[in-house]
Amino acid sequence: MNFLGKFASMSLAACVHFGEPQFMDQVSVTAASGLQSRMQALDLVANNLANSTTGGFKLDREFYSVFTAAQDDASGQTNGTSLPLIEKQWTDFSQGTLSPTGNSLDLALSGKGFFAVNGPSGTLYTRNGSFQLSAGGQLTTSDGYAVLDAGGAPIQTQSQAPITVNEDGTLTQSDAPIGQLQIAGFQDPSVLQKAGNNYFSVGNPAVKPTQATDVTVAQGKIEASNVAPAESAVRLVSLMRQFEMLQKAITVTSEMNKQSLTEVARVAGL
């Protein structure tokens, strides 16, 4: 986190103690909370832009909410201090554009589904079909994770002959079948958690994928990232402007409080 992010977090922590305002008034507390949420959003948008050319990448978006802290004023009445925050971030799984590459080991999915691969700590799911052959003849991702077949086993080639992949994910080599890709489907994609920029894992072990339907495999193509760089750039500029305005609000309020204390001290000294 950079200096501005630390400033926002420290300001918010110093200003609010579950409804007891300290050091700054409610305007500054709310602005500090806004700074913190905008910093989180800036990190998210920046990561989207950085992966706008990453094959199969799915962009992240934020969901804002309001935290209300109850506090008692001098009259004994309970009021609420509302603070903006990012409740959660969610992934946009919309289809990216399929771009031809001419490489027979590049595969893309059209429809809802994920390639299943053997990750370091269990099965991972990805939309990035930029595959290659290992020295031992296994079909793997660019990170060396074995691509799994419908039975959950790594796909093993039999020779150096070209591989043909049908739309249903069936692989053949020298006119002999060598397996069928496991195309995992999830009724609720929100159960997937990002495990790096191109992989997803299932956080709940009780959730089991099914063989995806209404999805086809395209050989010699790669699914591009679904990030729209122009939209993300506009979003980035908007967040920066909001950040600057919130920072200015804290500065102005602090100066007003300082001036008020000076005036009180001057009057008291008369």
What's the confidence (pLDDT) of residue 63? 61
The stretches of the chain forming alpha helices (DSSP H) are 3-15, 26-50, 229-268
What's the confidence (pLDDT) of residue 269? 57
What's the confidence (pLDDT) of residue 232? 81
What's the confidence (pLDDT) of residue 93? 94
What's the confidence (pLDDT) of residue 129? 96
Give the length of the chain. 270
What's the confidence (pLDDT) of residue 262? 72
Question: How many Å apart are CA 82 and CA 148, to the nearest integer?
Answer: 49
What's the confidence (pLDDT) of residue 237? 83
CA triplet 243, 249, 253: central angle to 5 degrees? 150
Please give the DSSP secondary-structure letter assigned to residue 92: -
What's the confidence (pLDDT) of residue 270? 56
| Burial classification of residue 17, based on how many CB atoms lie within 10 Å of its CB (0-12 exposed, 13-18 middle, 19 or more buried) | exposed
* 262 residue type, one letter: T
Averages of pLDDT over each 10 residues, the chain, 270 residues: 46 42 56 71 87 91 56 48 57 94 96 95 95 95 95 92 95 94 93 90 89 93 93 82 76 72 62
What's the confidence (pLDDT) of residue 240? 79
Q: Between helices 26-50 and 3-15, what is the axis angle to 10°? A: 150
What's the confidence (pLDDT) of residue 109? 97
What's the confidence (pLDDT) of residue 266? 63
pTM of the model: 0.70
What's the confidence (pLDDT) of residue 209? 92
